[in-house]
Amino acid sequence: MKINGLEPEENRRLWQARLADLAESGLTQKQWCEQHSINISALRYWIRQTNKIKHRQERRSGEWLTVTTNTLAEPDPGTGGSNGDITVSYGAYRVEINESANPEGIYNVLRILKEL
């Protein structure tokens, strides 16, 4: 379905170019719209649409956590048991969890890391 004589993809590219022009212009939204004879409601609609697309792409791309385990064949005398440590790395953050850690505490740490 054409919008203003353009296919949806062409219209999206047109608005991407317009939003880039707005960002580079240094003008307010109102000033830019007046200079280009564009309805400010249409501009704001496309800003919202672009932000939604960016947000969806960020959620899809998501970063993976790196998890490594260290299990020794023999118990570690320093810990009083086996060494089943887990290391969770996320970007610049690294959390080492030993097997006797409180599961609720682990959950809270991982939840906080997810919010970073």
Question: In sequence order, what are the residues at sequence separation of 6 or more whose Cβ sits closer than 8 angstroms to the Cβ of residue 47?
Answer: 19
Provide the pLDDT for residue 64: 58
pLDDT at 82: 47
Share of the chain above pLDDT 90, in %: 28
Number of domains in the chain: 2
> Is there a domain that residue 2 lies in?
no
Does the pTM of the predicted model rise above 0.75? no
Q: Which domain holds residue 18?
A: 8-61
Tell me what pLDDT residue 29 has.
93
| Cα–Cα dist 112/53, whole Å | 25
Radius of gyration of the CA atoms of the chain, in A? 25
The residue count of the chain comes to 116
Q: What is the mean pLDDT of the chain?
A: 76
Is 32 domain-assigned? Answer: yes
Residues 50 and 72 in one domain: no
Using the Cα atoms of residue 26, residue 31, residue 37 and residue 41 in order, give the sign of their dihedral. Answer: positive
**16 plus 29 within the same structural domain:** yes
